[in-house]
Amino acid sequence: MLHIAEKDQFVPPEAQKQIKDALASNPQVTIHSYPGMDHAFARVGGQHYDKSAADAANKRTEDFFKKHLG
């Protein structure tokens, strides 16, 4: 699972596209993109924290762990 902040100041759109294209055919990889989000959007207290996007990412991660780790 990969969470991508689409406005990540450290990973430009071209790099994000390369990552997505390289992993698109791998059935074991799930990519979630977060439009308008910057780096570390899920870090509580961080400069770019966004509760709504963080909650979505955390829920997706929790569900993934439950499914794959029991």
Per the residue annotation, which of 3, 21, 38, 39 is the catalytic one? 39
8 catalytic residue (yes or no) = yes
pLDDT bucket at 70, cuts 50 / 70 / 90: confident
List, for residues 10-54, the tens digit of each pLDDT value.
999 999 999 999 999 999 999 999 999 999 999 999 999 999 999
18 vs 13, 14, 24, 50, CA distance in Å? 9, 6, 10, 25
Q: Cα 5 from chain centroid?
A: 6
Give me the pLDDT at residue 12, please. 96
Instruction: Please tell me which residue in 8, 38, 48, 68 is annotated as part of the active site.
Output: 8
pTM of the model: 0.89
Q: Where are the beta strands (DSSP E) in 1-70?
A: 2-5, 31-34
pLDDT given at position 25: 97
In whole angstroms, what is the distance from residue 56 CA to residue 11 CA? 21
Amino acid at 31: I
Q: Is 48 a catalytic residue?
A: no
